[in-house]
Chains A and B, each alone.
Chain A
Amino acid sequence: MSTTVADLHDHHDDHGPAKGIGRWLFSTNHKDIGTMYLVFSLVMFFVGGAMAMVIRSELAIPGLQFVHPEFYNSMTTMHALIMIFGGVMPAFVGLANWMIPLMVGAPDMALPRMNNWSFWILPVAFSILLSTLFMPGGAPAGGWTMYPPLVLQTGDAFPYLIFAIHLMGISSIMGAINVIVTIINMRAPEMTLLKMPMFVWTWLITAYLLIAVMPVLAGAVTMLLTDQFFGTSFFLAAGGGDPVMFQHIFWFFGHPEVYIMILPAFGVVSEIIPTFSRKKLFGHDSMVYAAASIAFLSFIVWAHHMFTVGMPLSGQLFFMFATMLIAVPTGVKVFNWVATMWRGAMTFETPMLFSLAFVFLFTIGGFSGLMLAAAPADIQYHDTYFVVAHFHYVLVPGSIFAIMAAVYYWLPKWTGHMYNETLGKAHFWASTIFVNLTFFPMHFLGLAGMPRRIPDYSTQFTDFNTVASIGALGFGLSQLIFVWVIVTAWKGSKATDRVWEGAHGLEWTVPSPAPYHTFETPPKARIAGEAFE
Chain B
Amino acid sequence: MIRKSFLSLLACCFAGTANADWALNMPRGITDLSVETYNIHMMVFWWCVAIGIVVFGVMIVSLFRHRKSQGVKPATFSHSTTAEVIWTIIPVVILMLIAIPVAETMIKLEDSRDPDLSIVVTAYQWKWHYKYQDEGIDFYSSLARPSLEARRKESGIDPNAVDNYLREVDRPVVVPRDAKVRLLLTSNDVVHSWYVPELAIKKDTIPGIVNEAWFKAKEVGTYRGQCAELCGKDHGYMPIVVEVVEPDAFRAWVDARKEGAARVARNQ
Contact = CB atoms under 8 A, between A and B. Distances in A.
A279 B95 contact: no
B196 to A, nearest CB: 8
Interface string A421-453: 000000000000000000000001001110111
A310 interface: yes
Nearest to A346: B67
A338 B23 contact: no
A64 B91 contact: no
A206 B155 CA distance: 50
Nearest to A274: B78
Interface string B29-42: 00001001100110
B59 A377 contact: no
B235 A453 contact: yes
Interface string A251-276: 00000000000000000000000000
Contacts of B9: 60-61, 466, 469
A328 B158 CA distance: 49
Interface stretch (B127-135, B198-206, B242-250, B257-265): B198-206
A347 B67 contact: yes
Contact of A371 (B44, B80, B88, B151): B44
B87 A374 contact: no
Contact of A73 (B27, B153, B230): B230
Given A279-B76, A343-B74, A466-B12, A459 B62 contact: no
B202 A65 contact: no
Contacts of B233: 68-70, 73, 141
B172 interface: no
A454 B99 contact: no
A324 B200 contact: no
Contacts, number: 314
Interface stretch (B113-121, B187-195, B214-222): B187-195
A342 interface: yes
**Residue among A237, A332, A343, A453 with max Cβ neighbours from chain B (10 Å):** A343
A367 interface: yes
A375 B102 contact: yes
Nearest to A70: B233
Interface in B71-117: 72-80, 83-84, 87-88, 91-92, 95, 98-99, 102-103, 105-107, 109-110
Given A367-B51, A377-B44, A453-B230, A320 B102 contact: yes
A339 B77 CA distance: 10
Given A308-B229, A346-B66, A377-B102, 14 more contacts: A280-B78, A284-B78, A308-B202, A317-B103, A327-B95, A332-B87, A343-B72, A345-B72, A346-B67, A374-B40, A377-B37, A379-B109, A383-B193, A461-B20
